[in-house]
Structure 1
Amino acid sequence: MPPSNQQHFGPQFQGPNHQMQQPFFQYSQCNGKKKALCIGINYFGQDAELRGCINDARNVQRFLIEKFGYRMEDIVILTDDAQNPRQIPTKDNMLNAMRWLVQNAQPNDSLFFHYSGHGGQTKDTDGDEQDGEDEVIYPVDFQQNGHIVDDEMHDIMVRSLPPGCRLTSIFDACHSGSALDLPYIYSTEGKLKEPNLAAEAGSGLMSAFSSYSRGDIGGALQSAMGLVKTATGGNKKKAEYAKATKTSPADVISWSGCKDSQTSADATEAGQATGAMSYAFMLALNQNPQQSYMQLLKSLREILRAKYSQKPQLSSSHPMDTNIMFIC
């Protein structure tokens, strides 16, 4: 199980009043309030209509209730076959539902976000993406009102959370590897795929992180401006900038259906239309509910490898021990 005390990492730096500080985060014990948001969009009558996304949202809703003790009344579900206009996954409704999910969040709460629908990419404008592309998801009304960018989802659902609050997200969408803009991405060996903050961060980065952790967003951006200007100079700078501005003391985990460069399958499993990632996530935990993060990532890869080329990704808002138990 995850430790309950604060976890410090990276180099120390001088904070306000000349006191020495160090970045920290706190794992959630997931024994507080549980809330979930499940979004499934089939895009009826539109080009590239999908078949399994509404099924995914309802299946995940049922799975959370049966396996993890969530209550029906604490789960908001948005699907494009809903009768209630507020439950249609328009851009406004999706953003409002994301705000509802994190509202009044407390340490040891467990929040769950699931999205099944179209995903894509757009040009990165703030220098935090190594491939130069932000990841986006597409509301049902995206042709009229546009997509939702990963930076905006991070601002709403990650930046606002207190230390020790869990948000588990699942993105069953194309190009979704870093769809929540979490800067720590893990391999199936439990190792960071990029240089870690402790090794790479300089004083400017730590100043940015210090401002971020105090809620001083302007200060964080100002401290990181030098990195923005040099971010185009190499992936290392972009990775450093992402860690300086997107690391969080909250406990945020994202499971995505594929790498940023890949697509995710709209499939048929057990006779039902479904997203391959949503199906694999529920199957893996039904087969073995007690898995570490590393074991679960391997399980997802093995389930999908049999039929699909997509590689599920695990990312987090903080450096984590992937040998601890996955709970939500």
Structure 2
Amino acid sequence: MVHQAAARAKKRPQAHSLHIGINVVSAGHYAGWTGPLAACEFDAHDMAAVARAQGMKGSLLLTRKATRSAVLGGIRKSARALADGDLFFLSFSGHGGQVPDVSGEEVDKLDETWCLFDGQLIDDELYFELSRFKTGVRILVLSDSCHSGTVVRAGRPPPGTPEQRARIMPPAVGMRVYGEHKAFYDQLQHEVAKAAGGKVSDPDTALAQVAVSERLTGIVKNFHPSLILISGCQDNQFSMDGNHNGAFTEQLLKVWNHGGYRGSYASFHARIRAGLPPTQSPNLFTLGPVAAFLKQAPFSI
């Protein structure tokens, strides 16, 4: 019995990864808009390669396969399988969008979304799904999209080459999409809020202010895993597409240097940020007990 207990104690942690890359979305769900991008599938392949090299058990969802059901199913599968000390690595590359918030305290607030192929994944949903991981699970999320926690945005860059293309669904398109699918998105937000036991704050706001906001601390008090989220830009900026990688992913891979990087998550974020222009400054958010997690080497199991 003693030997069995020791063996369990020394068991190597498991690591799952899920990588999403979406170059176009379904016109049928996005009011005729397909939002073509060039590098998102490349980003997903490259993040999957990093995970594979580190010994993670990974899944890849590209464009048409990156549906709401597939993404939620992948997250939930890992939430069921992983336990204390395990790692879940989630990466997203694609457009960010917004829908009106119907479950929060401010009627004019917008919820951030990831634009999946056949519909948007609201940040309330993502936050709730991640909160269902067990105590002690480490979660790393890398989001190469326009994804903020406020409605303040800079003016949209002009269209042109892939380097000038922002990874954001145009607000006018977003409102058309919401208008055509209002019942679905409103009901979705109400269901998530009900499942979470009340009103749900968008994750970026919660992550950014949890240390100083009593209201948000109350909302996230039952978040048991440890979460590190590195997103591609600040609230009022845009994550830019590229020919082979998005600007954020390209710089991340350069710093990672095929595993040659030596340092912590905190310094990893700082190095990535230092290599990008002032117009795109990646954000670092944390949630849960992350002090030890932040000191670990990136992607380490």
Normalising by the residue count of structure 2, what TM-score does the alignment of the two structures yield? 0.67
Report if the CA contact (8 A) 2:229-2:286 is conserved: yes
Say if 1:90 and 1:220 are closer, same or farther in 2 by CA, change over 3 A: closer
Q: Which residue of 1 aligns with 2:248?
A: 277
Match of 1:54, SS state, is helix
Counterpart for residue 75 of structure 2? 98
> Corresponding residue for 1:76?
59
**For residues 83-232 of structure 1, what are the structure 2 equivalents within 5 Å?**
88-127=65-104, 132-142=109-119, 147-156=120-129, 158-176=130-148, 221=197
Residue 251 of structure 1 is aligned with which of 214, 226, 244?
A: 226
Structure 2: 5+ residue stretches without partners: 1-9, 28-32, 151-192, 202-208
Please give the secondary structure, in 2, of the residue aligned with 1:267.
coil
Q: What fraction of aligned residue pairs are identical, expressed as a percent?
A: 26
- TM-score under structure 1 length normalisation: 0.62
Distance 1:267 1:284 in 2: 17
- Give, in angstroms, the shift of residue 168 of structure 1: 0.6
Asked if residue 316 in structure 1 is aligned to residue 286 in structure 2, the reply is yes
Amino acid at match of 2:49: R
SS at match of 1:291: coil
**Contact 1:51/1:266 (CA < 8 Å) preserved in 2?**
yes
How many equivalent residue pairs? 231
User: Which ranges in structure 1 are unaligned for 5 or more consecutive residues?
Assistant: 1-28, 82-87, 179-216, 228-234
2:176 maps to none
Amino acid aligned to 2:214: E
Contact 2:131 2:224 in 1 (8 A): no
Residue 301 of structure 1: how far off its partner (Å): 0.8
Partner of 1:290: helix, strand, or coil?
coil
Out of 267, 281, 287, the residue aligned to residue 295 of structure 1 is 267
User: For residues 64 and 219 of structure 1, do their structure 2 counterparts lie closer, same or farther at Cα, with a shift above 3 Å needed?
Assistant: closer
Runs (4+) off by over 6 Å: 217-220
Pairs within 5 Å for 1:15-26: none
Give the letter aligned to residue 240 of structure 1.
E
Could you tell me which amino acid in structure 2 is paired with residue 274 of structure 1?
N
- Return the offset for 1:47: 3.6
CA 1:90–1:30 in structure 2 vs 1: closer, same or farther (change >3 Å)?
farther
C-alpha deviations, 1:111-155, integer Å up to 9, x for none? Answer: 1101001102223334379x933210111123xxxx110111111
How far, CA to CA, are the matches of 2:139 and 2:226 in structure 1?
Answer: 6
Distance 2:195 2:49 in 1: 43
Partner of 1:84: none
**1:30·1:327 contact (CA, 8 Å) conserved in 2?**
no
CA distance in 1, matches of 2:21, 2:114: 11
